[in-house]
């Protein structure tokens, strides 16, 4: 993985933990704070945090068009929690000024499981992983609809919590908070590696 360069959008949220997981797997990881830092990246992670705050900062620093353009050029994108919300084509319960990136053909509902006090952990059976993965759900969104060509990777009950669509990955939980790098490895090897 030494030749893979992955940026983590470092405007707000749990970006440091993603960087540590990526570096632990041998990838070159970069905290992305300005759009020109997207140049030359093989992948980008949009981390969890507050989706409305991240969206405002993305608008302020002109990230929307930059991320869309780099994705069109082949940069893979993974959104975790708030990042999954922003990647969608449609956000349910969004604030009127919250614009989605529209990268993944999906509908995502903000705070679907309730408030901070309703956060929880659960074991998930994730496709392509060899054992259950402990999902950390913090004010988590819910993926309500995906395109027919997307692969649902995991569900919690009957709800979609992880999906891949080509070079796009969305998880409604926080793999970076578990100490288990298997979803990061999947992103590096399967999502970026196949793009």
pLDDT at position 95: 74
pLDDT at position 93: 79
pLDDT at position 115: 56
Q: Taking the model in full, what pTM does it have? A: 0.94
pLDDT at position 194: 63
pLDDT at position 52: 86
Q: Which residues of the chain have pLDDT under 70?
A: 1-2, 111-118, 194-195
Q: Convert the pLDDT of each residue in 90-121 to its tens digit.
A: 998 777 777 899 999 999 988 656 555 567 89
Q: Report d(CA 59, CA 101) in Å as an integer.
A: 11
**Measured CA distances, 121 to 34, 129, 140, 151, 191 (Å):** 33, 18, 11, 23, 25
Active site residues: 81, 174, 176
């Amino acid at each position: 993985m030494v030749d893979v360069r992955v940026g983590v959008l470092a405007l707000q949220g749990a970006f440091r933990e993603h960087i540590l997981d990526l570096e632990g797997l041998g990838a070159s990881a970069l905290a992305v704070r300005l759009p020109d830092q997207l140049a030359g990246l093989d992948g980008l992670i949009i981390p969890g945090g507050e989706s409305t705050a991240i969206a405002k900062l993305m608008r302020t620093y002109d990230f929307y068009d930059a991320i869309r353009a780099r994705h069109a050029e082949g940069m893979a994108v993974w959104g975790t929690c708030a990042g999954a919300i922003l990647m969608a084509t449609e956000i349910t319960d969004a604030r009127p000024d919250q614009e989605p990136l529209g990268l993944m053909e999906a509908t995502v509902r903000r705070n679907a499981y309730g408030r901070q006090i309703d956060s929880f952990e659960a074991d998930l059976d994730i496709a392509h992983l060899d054992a259950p993965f402990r999902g950390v759900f913090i004010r988590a969104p819910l993926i309500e609809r995906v395109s027919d060509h997307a692969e649902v990777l995991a569900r919690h009950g009957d709800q979609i919590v992880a999906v891949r669509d080509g070079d796009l990955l969305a998880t409604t939980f926080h793999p970076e908070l578990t100490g288990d790098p298997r979803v990061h490895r999947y992103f590096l090897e399967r999502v970026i590696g196949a793009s």
